[in-house]
Amino acid sequence: MSLTPSSAPPVWRELLGREYLGAAIVLAGGVLVGAINIYLAASLLPTAVADLGGASFYAWNMTIYLVAMVIATMLTGRFLSRWGNVGAYLLGFAMFTASSMACALTPAMAVLLVSRGVQGLGAGLLSGLGFAVIRSALPSRLWTRGTALMSAMYGVGNFAGPALGGLFAQAGSWRPAFVVMAVIGAGCGALVPRVLPRGERGAARVPVPALSLLLITAAAGAVSVAGVVAGTLAKALSVAAALLLMAGFVVHKRRSGLRVFPRTTYRRGSPLKWVYLTLGLLAFGVAVESFLPLFGQRLAGLPPLVAGFFAAAISLGWSVTQIGSSSVTGHRAVRRLRVLGPVLLAAGLLVQGLLLRGDTPLWLAAVWVPVLFAAGAGIGLAYPHLSVAAMSSTQDPEEGGRAAAAIATVTSLSIAFGTAVAGVLLNLDGGSMLDAARYVLFGLAIICALGALTAQAANRTSRDDQAAIHSGT
């Protein structure tokens, strides 16, 4: 089994040429709308609360959306088997478009939260489909560039979400932002039948992994509760419960016939589990973007719109670096980038924490931007190569689709848990915003640094696996 991309150099001009441009727009657009909406509502929510009320539900806005995304990505295989490429994509864009309009027209906070849940389901399905359908929509020589384009959409979305939300919030009108998202979703959906292969529908219906979904939802809920309950013991018990539920999820998926991850993941000595862990630890660092606007406003006195752009420096670094990183094809260079990425991400978060001050002058706040850009660059260096490693882990089309769809599941799940963990760290401050910010940044830096170890394990087991193949063992 090879976990390295094709040696044939991919060409951006070919991916964005007439033959594949439509497919690239649909694949990237589906990921983009979901990524934008992770943070769009966060920027709009203060204005929405002033209009609708329901401030007590504020913290659940992000949790409901992200958990719904995770659930939908886990069901991607079922939708593909039932509806094929075109049908599944049309369903995803329809859910996203309708729920975005429902958000725009909502009369109450409870309706907004339900609509955000449906929006998360549509966004999660679209994210999962992007990585699953790329195998049939694009030739293998373009997988690296196609994956880079889609994963860059997480960075672009995390930049555009706060910016778009901040613009509408500053104008005092939050509802049109959701209308804009509905229009984008409808436009991408209209392209689907013309640019994507229909794909084969499965002969047998894929069962719903109900217990897996329950365990994931309960684990995310437990971490979210840890962020709001009072007392160290209560927080520790909530986190412990989340870890036990996640361990139960892993054990169940290993034994169950209803797999979210391909069977290769569970094979002894397989590098695939380390690839997914590294992807997850990289995505974990993205969670800090939910809190950077708060730190910018409280510690540096930045206005909301400026703080939103400041927070997007990580995403910008991710997106820009990924474009260049995807051009690297040498096996040794790719392995180095997989390890360097988590190191650079962790170092950026660590330095950012050291630069924080209680009353930050403007010149020092300006220094934060290149530091956070460098942290995001760590994600961009490693993410596309890890994604292609997962997609190339098997020649079986069904298992390959499962391996690709699992990339979106891991990314969404890690961002959801990273946001919840950062919320727990934020509430350890004892009233000091400076201490809270440092807890978040240092804590996430330590967790993300573990990605260097998992990347080394992926590289090592990949070489061992290839050596076994060449020796015929």
Distances (CA, A) of 71 to 78, 128, 141, 210: 12, 10, 31, 10
Q: Give pLDDT, residue 114.
A: 92
**What is the sign, positive or negative, of the torsion defined by CA atoms of 400, 403, 409, 414?**
negative
Q: Give pLDDT, residue 205.
A: 57
Task: Tell me if 326 is assigned to some domain.
Answer: yes
- Are the CB atoms for 405 and 77 separated by under 8 Å? yes
- Cα separation, 295 vs 422, whole angstroms: 13
Which residue carries 């910008």 as its tokens?
A: 316
Task: Tell me if 221 is assigned to some domain.
Answer: no
Task: Tell me if 251 is assigned to some domain.
Answer: no
- Cα separation, 436 vs 194, whole angstroms: 50
Distances (CA, A) of 449 to 230, 236, 286, 343: 29, 22, 13, 6
Nearest to 394 by CA among 385, 403, 386: 403
What residue numbers bound the domain in which 126 lies?
Answer: 12-208+258-471
- Cα separation, 440 vs 236, whole angstroms: 16
Could you say which DSSP state residue 2 is in?
A: -
Q: Where are the beta strands (DSSP E) in 322-380?
A: none
Task: Tell me if 250 is assigned to some domain.
Answer: no
Query: How many folded domains does the chain comprise?
Result: 1
301: left (phi over 0), alpha (psi -120 to 50) or beta: left
Task: Tell me if 226 is assigned to some domain.
Answer: no
Q: Give pLDDT, residue 470.
A: 43
- By CB atoms closer than 10 A (0-12, 13-18, 19+), residue 34 is buried
Q: Give pLDDT, residue 201.
A: 57
- Cα separation, 318 vs 283, whole angstroms: 11
**What does the DSSP assignment read for 142-184?**
GHHHHHHHHHHHHHHHHHHHHHHHHHHHHTT--HHHHHHHHHH
pTM value is 0.72
- Cα separation, 258 vs 448, whole angstroms: 30
- Cα separation, 128 vs 406, whole angstroms: 7
Task: Tell me if 33 is assigned to some domain.
Answer: yes
**What is the sign, positive or negative, of the torsion defined by CA atoms of 316, 317, 318, 320?**
positive
Residues of the chain with pLDDT under 70: 1-17, 42, 46, 54-60, 155, 158, 199-209, 223-232, 253-260, 304, 308, 397-398, 401, 429-430, 462-473
Could you say which DSSP state residue 197 is in?
A: -
- Cα separation, 469 vs 1, whole angstroms: 7
Q: What is the CATH number of the domain that holds 321?
A: 1.20.1250.20
Task: Tell me if 7 is assigned to some domain.
Answer: no
Task: Tell me if 264 is assigned to some domain.
Answer: yes
